């Protein structure tokens, strides 16, 4: 037996693993806490949970779910209430949309030109989150939109100019704090300078440190000054002139050097989802040097405090290199209970300290974990203490009712109305009369299944409700080449819209323009489409000659003829659809401002 094996006895390894488990944030599978999830919470005492749309059905259901999470986690640490997080930054990423609606995108807020609206949106959103029992929002996005092809940033950012982004980031943090919600700036040190998606690969950003300081780091510095509670580390590699190819989330130079020492952030650092390819690729190469079984613990050793897992806890786990999960939670429970009986828990800390005296590496690991544990404990105490600040109510009515949609803060609608922007290089749009016939052709480009998509169907249905004689086609997602060699959209007429709900059971028919009605194209896009898709869009424009194009997502407009008006909507929520309808009906002018929003 080696000296290392003598020091790292099974008891010590077991306790070390248990200490690392307390640094996890885990996801749940559904609307109720399942038996194996409850056991996991009880056994491991994780720091908290993250909620997704799959966990959200109703207010009472969410309250009960969170209550059970608190019950099981309080059994191990009664003085430290758990963190309850949600990715609810706005527009595309709004996991609580079923109950509290969809906040405007960051870029829509920036298009208004009013940073105070960022604060107001955050405060109203935070108040609604607090009513659900959610105490941490994974927002704001502090990335700059530096690469137009990036599918990750775009509408999720406040634009391309670092100082402007920084101002809106700080206002957002202030607004959430007024509502008693903790904040998390992401994705340090920036995800906006790469066209690659860290959900699918490990992106590399080969910028100099000086270039990072001038651009990417500016909003994160301002976030630190504004008192942001957490920083999310990206799974993007920043070699910084070296041969190191590691995700920032596993790179101590980035976490401890750049973030903690240079930027001066001393709060909690959380990883981006460890199920993303950018993390898995790296972690799979490191197993065994610290006993945790996955390589992800190396992020803790690099300086992170919380490990974020967004896939639900499985009912069975893989052991021994088996191809299929083979250990049930019942078996795991028996093993853990047996270990806890065998291990002298009163003396285990003494054994760890004694072992660390003989092993410098273990001593360093324990030091890292102890410092990290203190930061996480402080965060959890503050999350429990959070309460809405007595701030003067925003101007106007707090709540509006968007037809059959959930009630949302009035500020969401104001942002939508003030952010709709006419592309200045194109002619002004005409006015659509309420009884004028029109067909809306929705087109969607999504680069992968791992990224959130707009609810294009919902947007078009909400838009058509404002015009009784409008119809719509199904959403176009691909194009075909005809026998004549021309490119055609794979497009069919959808059923009519009544009360925001499409008829079910109606058969779609191929759509052909009649010449007696206008056509409106609603285009949702993440990142930059490939040449083939752009060619298909050009074919749509030639074939249907749209009276106006509504751009819901990334500002990709080169396919639109120069004589066609373009309205930039910066989102696809019901309130955005209503604001766009008002502009098309001539009831409101598009007053948004695009300067500084995207890379030139």
Distance between CA atoms of residues 101 and 94, nearest Å: 8
Segment holding 509, helix H or strand E: strand 509-510
pTM, two decimals, is 0.89
**Tokens at 379, concatenated:** 């965060």
Q: Residue 362, CB half-sphere, CA atoms under 13 Å: how many?
A: 24
- Is 272 one of the catalytic residues? yes
Check: CB of residue 216 under 8 Å from CB of residue 189. Answer: yes
Q: Omega of the bond prior to 379 within 30 degrees of 0, cis?
A: no
User: What DSSP designation does 84 have?
Assistant: E
Residue 517 confidence (pLDDT): 84
Token pair belonging to 368: 């890292």
User: For the chain, how many residues are written?
Assistant: 600
Domains and CATH numbers, the chain: 3-312+344-385 (3.20.20.300), 420-584 (3.40.50)
Q: At how many degrees (to 10) do helices 10-21 and 360-385 cross?
A: 30
- Give the β-pairing of 48-51 and 83-86: parallel
Tokens read off for 135: 């105490």
Of 430, 375, 407, 461, which Cα lies nearest the Cα of 586? Answer: 430
Q: Which residues of the chain have pLDDT under 50?
A: 1-5, 287-293, 320-327, 388-397, 399-405, 497-506, 508
Lookup: tokens for 600: 């030139």
> What Å distances lie between residue 286 and 280, 296, 510, 595, CA to CA?
10, 8, 54, 45
pLDDT for position 92 = 96
- Give 336-348 pLDDT, tens digit per residue: 555 555 555 556 6
Q: Which residue out of 44, 199, 309, 466 is catalytically annotated? A: 199
Structure tokens at 362: 């273990």
Cα–Cα distance for residue pair 121/130, rounded to 1 Å: 14
pLDDT at residue 450, rounded to an integer: 81
Q: Per the residue annotation, which of 87, 143, 147, 272 is the catalytic one?
A: 272
Instruction: Encode 560-590: b = buried (16+ Cβ within 10 Å), e = exposed.
Output: beeebbbbbbbbbbbbbbbbbbbbbeeeeeb
CB 249 within 8 A of CB 272: yes
Question: Could you report the per-residue pLDDT of 401-432, keeping only the tens digit for each?
Answer: 433 335 789 999 999 999 999 998 888 888 88
Phi/psi at 286 (nearest 5 deg)? Answer: -130, 100
- The three-state DSSP-derived secondary structure of 466-494 is CCCCEEEECCECCEEECCCCCEEECCEEC
Distance of alpha carbon 83 from alpha carbon 44, whole angstroms? 15
Read off the DSSP letter of residue 248. Answer: G
Q: Does 370 participate in catalysis according to the annotation?
A: no
Angle, CA of 68, 73 and 75, to the nearest 5°: 100
Give the model's pLDDT for residue 329. Answer: 53
Integer CA distances (angstroms), 578 to 3, 138, 402, 569, 581, in order: 70, 28, 8, 11, 5
* Percent of the chain at pLDDT exceeding 70: 83
Residue 405's pLDDT is what? 39
pLDDT digits (tens, 9 = 90+) for 115-159: 999 999 999 999 999 999 999 999 999 999 999 999 999 999 999
Q: Return the pLDDT at 515.
A: 65
Per-residue pLDDT reduced to its tens digit, 306-365: 999 999 988 765 554 444 444 455 555 555 555 555 555 556 667 777 777 877 878 888
């Amino acid at each position: 037996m080696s000296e290392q094996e003598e020091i790292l006895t099974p008891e010590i390894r077991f306790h070390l693993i248990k200490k690392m488990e307390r640094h996890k944030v885990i996801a749940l599978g559904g609307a109720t806490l399942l038996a194996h999830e409850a056991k996991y919470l009880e056994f491991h005492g994780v720091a908290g949970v993250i909620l997704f749309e799959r966990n959200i059905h109703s207010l009472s259901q969410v309250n009960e779910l969170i209550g059970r999470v608190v019950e099981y986690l309080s059994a191990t640490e009664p003085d430290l209430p758990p963190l309850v997080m949600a990715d609810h930054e706005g527009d595309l990423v709004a996991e609580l949309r079923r109950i509290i609606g969809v906040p405007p995108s960051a870029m829509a807020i920036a298009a208004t030109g009013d940073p105070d609206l960022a604060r107001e949106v955050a405060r109203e959103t935070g108040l609604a989150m607090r009513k659900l029992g959610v105490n941490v929002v994974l927002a704001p996005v502090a990335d700059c939109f530096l690469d137009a092809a990036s599918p990750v940033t775009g509408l999720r950012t406040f634009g391309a100019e670092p100082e402007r982004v920084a101002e809106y980031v700080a206002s957002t943090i202030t607004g959430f704090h007024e509502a008693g919600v903790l904040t998390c700036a992401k994705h340090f040190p920036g995800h906006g300078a790469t066209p690659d998606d860290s959900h699918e690969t490990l992106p590399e950003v080969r910028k100099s440190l000086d270039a990072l300081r001038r651009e990417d780091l500016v909003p994160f510095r301002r976030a630190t000054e504004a008192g942001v509670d957490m920083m999310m580390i990206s799974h993007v590699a920043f070699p910084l002139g070296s041969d190191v190819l590691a995700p920032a989330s596993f790179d101590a130079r980035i976490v401890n050097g750049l973030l903690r020492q240079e930027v001066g952030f001393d709060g909690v650092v959380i990883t981006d989802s460890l199920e993303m390819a950018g993390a898995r690729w790296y972690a799979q190469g490191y197993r065994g040097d610290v006993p945790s079984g996955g390589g992800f613990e190396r992020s803790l050793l690099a300086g992170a405090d919380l490990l974020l897992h967004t896939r639900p806890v499985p009912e069975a786990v893989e052991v021994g290199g088996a191809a299929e999960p083979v250990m049930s939670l019942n078996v795991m429970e028996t093993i853990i209970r047996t270990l806890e009986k065998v291990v002298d828990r009163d003396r285990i800390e003494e054994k760890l300290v004694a072992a660390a005296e003989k092993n410098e590496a273990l001593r360093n690991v324990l030091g890292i974990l102890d410092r990290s544990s203190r930061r996480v404990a402080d965060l959890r105490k503050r999350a429990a203490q959070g309460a809405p600040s007595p701030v003067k109510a925003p101007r106007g009515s707090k709540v509006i009712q968007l037809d059959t949609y959930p009630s949302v803060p009035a500020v969401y609608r104001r942002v939508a109305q003030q952010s709709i922007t006419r592309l200045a290089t194109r002619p002004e749009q005409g006015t659509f009369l309420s009884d004028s016939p029109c067909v809306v052709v929705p087109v969607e480009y999504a680069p992968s299944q791992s990224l959130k998509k707009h609810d294009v169907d919902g947007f078009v249905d909400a838009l058509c409700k404002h015009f009784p004689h409008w119809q719509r086609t199904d959403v176009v997602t691909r194009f075909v080449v005809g026998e004549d060699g021309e490119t055609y959209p794979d497009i069919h007429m959808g059923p009519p819209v009544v009360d925001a709900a499409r008829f079910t059971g109606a058969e779609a028919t191929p759509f052909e323009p009649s010449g007696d009605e206008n056509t409106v194209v609603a285009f949702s896009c993440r990142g930059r489409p490939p040449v083939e898709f752009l060619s298909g869009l050009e074919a749509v424009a030639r074939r249907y000659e749209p009276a106006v194009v509504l751009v819901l997502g990334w500002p990709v407009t080169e396919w639109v003829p120069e004589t066609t008006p373009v309205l930039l909507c910066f989102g696809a929520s019901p309130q955005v659809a209503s604001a766009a309808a008002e502009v098309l009906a001539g009831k409101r002018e598009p007053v948004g401002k695009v300067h500084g929003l995207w890379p030139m």
